[in-house]
Amino acid sequence: MTRIVVDPTRQLGSVDRNVFGGFVEHLGRCIYGGLYEEGSPLSDARGFRGDVLGLLRELRMGVLRWPGGNFVSNYHWADGIGPKDSRPRRPELAWGGEESNRFGTDEFLEYCAELGTEPYICLNMGTGSLEEALAWVEYCNSAGDTAWARRRRDNGHEAPYRVRYWGLGNEMYGEWQVGAVSAEEYVRSATRWARAIKMLDPKAQLVSCGMNGWNDWDRVVIDGMAPLVDYHSLHIYTGSGDYWTNVLQPHQAERAISCARALIERAAYVKKIARPPRLAYDEWNVWFREPVGALEERYNFSDALAVATYLNIFIRNSGWVRMANLAQMVNAIAPIVTTSDTAVAQPIYYPVLLHSQAALDLAADVHVTGRTVSPIGAGHHSRWPHRVADLGPFSLVDAAATTSTDRARLAITLVNRSPDEPEIAEIVLRDLVFDSVAEVRTVTAERGREARVLPDVEGAYLEEGSETPKGATLTLTLPPQSFTVIEVATASQ
């Protein structure tokens, strides 16, 4: 049995809806043939696939990052505005191929409006210039009678878009990145960019280009950029054909958050920063099967458990993690797969869906006691170099909890990582009692291949039910390899 003590009065931080964010890049069929397909009977007059829009709307994303990713470091945004048939076709250096520019800034911002999500634009610090970046901000946000604001109006958008989030480059440390630089070079350039962008738009929220959280790149960038930015970005990908490595490797994110937090706190103390930046995990996912090409990964349910664990980690660290963007959303390492006549959800879609639907205002402290596992040895079982054995032993059941501001509602998310055994979970409240029947939703692996819409895309099985608590205690059985969301009312004792 696993005992989970939830203390709604111990607040870990407010939950920012931006932790349920997404990312779409001009990569493979993510944009073209994915969310955007001109001429398709499934698309509207703008080229937006209605079936994809429907699936994405369900996720209630707080923020959507675009256009990259590696793609952005050779992307010149002005190529993607104005009449579509007049836009230039360009070579695409990050992933190979050509870019038609038929989906550009106005299309992206209109897409975000359709989703009801905040846009997050990453700037080109590879082949781009500060002048080009300022023009982009002016085009999107200026209400004045300036050249780029007039160009936006000429293109049919009178009011400013008011884009809040701007990324200062993507993975500028990587040899795969067009225009890669040293950390010191990055800080020199990004300092100029940050100051100029804030002069043009003081409300802009800037994201510095981080690495993994524990690297010297992060140390140098945080020391240099912490006084100037609102977020420091981190990226992480995990995944393995070995079951335990796959479901436990996301805990490396906890190490990254701890290290990056310490670096930011040090910089804030030394530089006397009153409002130090928070963390934006603006790329994260399971990704290991398709390292090149269009990255059309096919996921199984162990991947869904890993994704659920990631989201629990972000909730538990909500005081510092204020944005997280699942990379990516359609076709390329994505929860949604399209063909010319349908769009379907992969197993990783479901923990994102349930987390996003259930999350409340405040993260509450949880303490888990019960069976633990330490199955990962010193050797690596993954294409990714993350070592997590020293972070164990790991609880078999991973848990997070959120409450409403008045603490009258509670949502608990549980991941049973046992491959073959159910686990009894006893949930105990501190200082409160349960005040309603608990609504329970549990997602497990598909039950046979017969229900699949596409033969190579696994599904999942969602079961809804309820449990009756007794006072401050709720007991239920978690199926093996399952993700469970519990929603319930609470009251004072």
For residue 357, the one-letter residue type is: Q
Distance CA 404, CA 418 (A): 30
User: For the residues of 114-144, what is the DSSP string, one character each?
Assistant: HHT-EEEEE---SS--HHHHHHHHHHHH--S
| 81 φ, ψ (degrees, to nearest 5) | -125, 165
Catalytic residue among 25, 107, 138, 171: 171
Dihedral Cα 465, 244, 235, 210, nearest 10 deg: 130
Catalytic residue among 283, 423, 458, 487: 283
Give 205's strand partners: 165
Assess contact for 344 and 334: CB atoms under 8 A: no
The Cβ of residue 359 has, within 10 Å, a number of other Cβ atoms equal to 24
Whether 38 is catalytic: no
The Cβ of residue 336 has, within 10 Å, a number of other Cβ atoms equal to 24
Residue 269 gets which letter from DSSP? H
Dihedral Cα 55, 60, 61, 66, nearest 10 deg: 40
Total number of residues shown for the chain = 493
Q: Which two tokens stand for residue 458?
A: 């696994």
| 19 φ, ψ (degrees, to nearest 5) | -70, -15
Helices (H), 147-251: 147-154, 183-200, 216-225, 243-248
| Apex 399 CA angle, 397 and 403, nearest 5 | 155
Q: What 3-state DSSP class applies to 452?
A: coil
Whether 426 is catalytic: no
Cis peptide before 328 (omega within 30 of 0): yes
Residues known to be catalytic: 171, 283
